[in-house]
Structure 1
Amino acid sequence: MPAEHGQAAIDVEGLGVRFRLGRRGRRSFKDLFAGSSRRTRPGEFWALREVSFRVRQGEAIGVVGRNGQGKSTLLKLVAGVLLPDEGHVRVHGGVAPLIELTGGFVGDLTVRENVKLTAGLHGMSRTAVAERYDGIIDFAELQKFQDTPYKHLSNGMKVRLAFSVVSQLDEPILLVDEVLAVGDKAFRDKCYRRIDELLADNRTLFFVSHNEGDLRRFCTRGLYLDKGGLVLDAGIGEVLDRYNADNA
Structure 2
Amino acid sequence: MAVRIKNLSITYRTSFERRPTLRTALVRFGRGQRAVREVKALTDLTLTVPEGTSMGIIGANGAGKSTLMRAVAGILPPTEGSVEVWGKASTLLALGVGFNKSLSGRENIILGGLAAGLSRKEVEERADQVAEWTEIGDFIDMPMQTYSSGMSARVAFSVAVHMKPDILMVDEALSTGDARFRAKATDKMAELRSSARAMFLVSHGLNSIKEMCTDAIWLDKGRMMMQGSPEDVVEEYKKFTKVKKGSSAADDDV
TM-score (norm 1): 0.87
Once the two structures are TM-superposed, the CA of residue 202 in structure 1 deviates from its matched residue by: 4.3
Once the two structures are TM-superposed, the CA of residue 107 in structure 1 deviates from its matched residue by: 1.1
Q: Structure 2: how far apart are the matches of 1:210 and 1:146?
A: 29
Question: Of the candidates 8, 11, 19, which is equivalent to residue 12 of structure 2?
Answer: 19
Bigger radius of gyration? 2
2:168/2:196 contact within 8 Å kept? no
User: What does residue 136 of structure 2 align with?
Assistant: 142
SS of corresponding position for 2:157: helix
> Structure 1 unaligned runs (5+)?
1-7, 25-41
SS of corresponding position for 1:114: helix
Aligned-residue Cα RMSD (Å) equals: 1.4
Q: Structure 2: how far apart are the matches of 1:205 and 1:20?
A: 30
Counterpart of 1:64, as a letter, is I
Once the two structures are TM-superposed, the CA of residue 72 in structure 1 deviates from its matched residue by: 0.7
Once the two structures are TM-superposed, the CA of residue 19 in structure 1 deviates from its matched residue by: 1.2
Once the two structures are TM-superposed, the CA of residue 227 in structure 1 deviates from its matched residue by: 1.6
Q: Structure 2: how far apart are the matches of 1:110 and 1:247?
A: 44
Equivalent runs, 1:128-139 vs 2, <5 Å = 128-139=122-133
Once the two structures are TM-superposed, the CA of residue 61 in structure 1 deviates from its matched residue by: 0.6
Query: 91-100 or 142-151, which moves further after superposition?
Result: 142-151
User: What does residue 155 of structure 1 align with?
Assistant: 149
> Structure 2 unaligned runs (5+)?
18-35, 243-254
Once the two structures are TM-superposed, the CA of residue 154 in structure 1 deviates from its matched residue by: 1.2
2:205 counterpart of 1:201 = no
Once the two structures are TM-superposed, the CA of residue 143 in structure 1 deviates from its matched residue by: 3.3
Counterpart of 1:93, as a letter, is G
2:214 counterpart of 1:220 = yes
Once the two structures are TM-superposed, the CA of residue 240 in structure 1 deviates from its matched residue by: 0.7
Q: Structure 2: how far apart are the matches of 1:201 and 1:84?
A: 29
Query: 145-154 or 81-90, which moves further after superposition?
Result: 145-154
Once the two structures are TM-superposed, the CA of residue 126 in structure 1 deviates from its matched residue by: 1.7
2:60 counterpart of 1:66 = yes
TM-score (norm 2): 0.85
SS of corresponding position for 1:197: helix
Counterpart of 1:136, as a letter, is V
User: What does residue 249 of structure 2 align with?
Assistant: none
Counterpart of 1:211, as a letter, is G
